[in-house]
């Protein structure tokens, strides 16, 4: 791909830090050298975000002839192109507050960016954080972004992968209870996650990717002493993946395999549940300093198996920091850059 891809960025919950980290990312000329960013949000929210972030940027509304379209974008550094959903009443808008109206706005931003991608108007999507309680208060009963994308793109088999440079973790399950997560450790699901992980690594130009598969239980079950999921489900899934020509190995003890992958022994790890993978990546990529600030928020969330490209920041709405100009845009910058990279594959 020689032309700059159009990257649609949904602004997330308007009461959170999403709009702020977007404008901070789009204040960088290097982003415009790589792509044409289009923000799906409210024009007034993005104007306020520019003030909060204290960056000297202009705004351009891309809506043309009453249509919500990407075609009216200028796509030049110094001006943020906004597809204006016109949802937020700024006179009554409060940052850092859980409200159904903000959940509704966040959902409509996501819905529109997916529609644009499915219609071919944009080349990839990037999402800013949403608040799940606000989303559900608005009547949209989803566990998160991944499930919305699955539903609206009619995708049955999908996988959440976290990426921080060469440290990559895919998940067998995500937004379910711990009890349900254990029940979801099944051979067929694990095979699907391994296959989608392998496909993503191939898209990143990694030949014969080395995939490590974590165990579920302490010490990967210790031969059945601490649980038998490894024996009954995980190892059989790995053996099936090997028969497909995939370089999958395990099951490895969860307390060491992530460090081994971080050190470069493997190209990705398949984790059995949400926190097993998230704690590992966020401990590596997030740094909380003694002054109470996140000096590093490194990591990107990617949804595998979709018919469109979706990357996301790997942090939440940070309501305690919303509206005061101190949000760290690092993860948003990474998410945009990874989306661009995937457009070229």
260 in the same domain as 211: yes
Token couple for 73: 């974008």
Please check whether residues 175 and 83 belong to one and the same domain.
Answer: no
- What six digits make up the tokens of 302? 């990617």
Residue 11 lies in a domain: yes
Do residues 95 and 185 both lie within one domain? no
- Domain holding 132, by residue range, is 6-155+306-343
- In the prediction, which pLDDT does 230 show? 95
Residue 1's pLDDT is what?
A: 46
CA–CA distance, 303 with 93 (Å, rounded to integer)? 31
Query: Are 35 and 136 contained in the same domain?
Result: yes
So what's the pLDDT on residue 51?
97
Mean pLDDT of 78-92: 94
CATH number at residue 62: 3.40.718.10
Q: What is the mean pLDDT of residues 138-152?
A: 94
- Residue 286's pLDDT is what? 75
Do 204 and 121 lie in one domain? The reply is: no
Has residue 1 been placed in a domain? no
In a domain? residue 295: no
Residue 291 in any domain: the answer is no
Q: Model confidence at 291, in pLDDT bands (50, 70, 90)?
A: confident
168, 233: one domain = yes
51 burial (CB, 10 Å; 0-12 / 13-18 / 19+) is exposed
Query: Is residue 73 predicted with pLDDT exceeding 70?
Result: yes
The answer, yes or no, to whether residue 2 has pLDDT greater than 80, is no
Does residue 133 sit within a domain?
Answer: yes
Mean pLDDT of 255-261: 96
Residues 306-340: pLDDT tens digits? 999 999 998 999 999 999 999 999 999 999 999 99
Residues 30 and 139 reside in one and the same domain: yes
Pairing state of beta strands 79-84 and 167-171? unpaired
- Tell me what pLDDT residue 175 has: 87
Burial code (b: 16+ CB inside 10 Å, e: under 16) for 138-152 equals bebebebbbbbbbeb
Q: Average pLDDT in the 135-145 region?
A: 94
Q: Please check whether residues 274 and 165 belong to one and the same domain.
A: yes
Judged by average pLDDT, the poorest of 29-38, 50-59, 68-77, 277-286 is 68-77
d(CA 276, CA 252) in angstroms, rounded, equals: 13
Residue 286, in any domain of the structure = no
Instruction: Examine the domain organization and report whether 151 and 12 are in the same domain.
Output: yes
State the distance between the two ends of the chain, measured CA to CA, in whole angstroms.
8
pTM above 0.85, yes or no: yes
Count other Cβ atoms within 10 Å, centred on residue 125: 28
Residue of 321 and 299 predicted with greater confidence: 321
Mean pLDDT of the chain: 93
Asked if residue 77 belongs to a domain, the reply is: yes
Residue 292 lies in a domain: no
Token pair, residue 225, equals: 């002493």
Is the CB of residue 14 less than 8 Å from the CB of residue 88? yes
Residues 80 and 174 in one domain: no
Mean pLDDT of 262-275: 97
Greater confidence (144 vs 46) lies with 46
Q: How many CA atoms lie within 13 A of 130 on its CB side?
A: 34
Neighbouring residues of 178: CB distance < 8 A, sequence distance ≥ 6: 273
Given a cut of 70, whether residue 64 has pLDDT beyond it is no
Considering the domain architecture, whether residues 26 and 130 belong to the same structural domain is answered as yes
Res 345: pLDDT: 64
Which are the contacts of 247, defined by CB distance < 8 A and separation ≥ 6? 208, 209, 210, 211
DSSP line for 27-89? T-HHHHHH-EEEEEE-HHHHHHHHHHHT---EEEE--BTTB--STT----TTEEEEEE-----
Residue 66, pLDDT > 80, answer: no
Distance in angstroms (rounded) separating the CA atoms of residues 285 and 283: 6
- Whole-number pLDDT of residue 295: 66
Of 281, 298, 332, the one marking the end of a domain is 281
Residues 140 and 78 in one domain: yes
Give the total number of structural domains in the chain. Answer: 2
pLDDT digits (tens, 9 = 90+) for 153-168: 999 999 999 999 899 9
Dist. CA 75–CA 230, nearest whole Å = 51
């Amino acid at each position: 791909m020689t032309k700059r891809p159009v990257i649609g960025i949904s602004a997330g919950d308007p009461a959170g830090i999403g709009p702020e980290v977007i404008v901070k990312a789009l204040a960088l000329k290097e982003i415009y050298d790589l792509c044409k960013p289009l923000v799906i949000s409210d024009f007034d929210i993005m104007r306020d975000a520019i003030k909060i972030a204290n960056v000297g940027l202009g705004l351009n509304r891309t809506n043309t002839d009453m249509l919500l379209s990407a075609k009216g974008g200028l796509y030049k550094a110094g001006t943020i192109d906004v597809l204006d959903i016109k949802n937020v009443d700024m006179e009554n808008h409060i940052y850092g507050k859980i409200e159904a109206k903000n959940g509704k706005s966040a959902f409509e931003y996501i819905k529109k960016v997916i529609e644009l991608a499915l219609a071919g108007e944009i080349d990839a999507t990037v999402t800013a954080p949403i608040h799940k309680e606000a989303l559900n208060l608005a009547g949209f009963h989803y566990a998160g972004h991944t499930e919305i994308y699955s539903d609206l793109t009619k995708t049955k088999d999908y996988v959440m992968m976290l990426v921080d440079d060469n440290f990559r973790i895919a998940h067998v399950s995500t937004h379910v209870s711990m009890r349900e997560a254990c029940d979801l450790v099944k051979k067929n699901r694990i095979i699907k996650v391994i296959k989608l992980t392998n496909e993503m690594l191939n898209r990143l130009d990694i030949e014969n990717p080395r995939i490590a598969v974590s165990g579920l239980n302490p010490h990967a079950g210790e031969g059945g002493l601490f649980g038998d999921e490894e024996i009954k489900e995980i190892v059989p899934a790995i053996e099936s993946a090997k028969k497909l020509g995939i370089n999958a190995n395990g099951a490895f003890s969860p307390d060491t395999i992530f460090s081994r992958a971080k050190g470069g022994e493997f190209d990705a790890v398949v984790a059995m549940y949400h926190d097993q993978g998230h704690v590992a990546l966020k401990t590596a990529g997030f740094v909380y300093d003694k002054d109470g600030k996140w000096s590093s928020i490194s990591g990107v969330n990617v949804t595998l198996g979709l018919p469109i490209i979706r990357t996301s920041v790997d942090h939440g709405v940070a309501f305690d920091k919303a509206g005061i100009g101190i949000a760290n845009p690092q993860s948003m910058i990474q998410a945009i850059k990874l989306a661009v990279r995937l457009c070229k594959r």
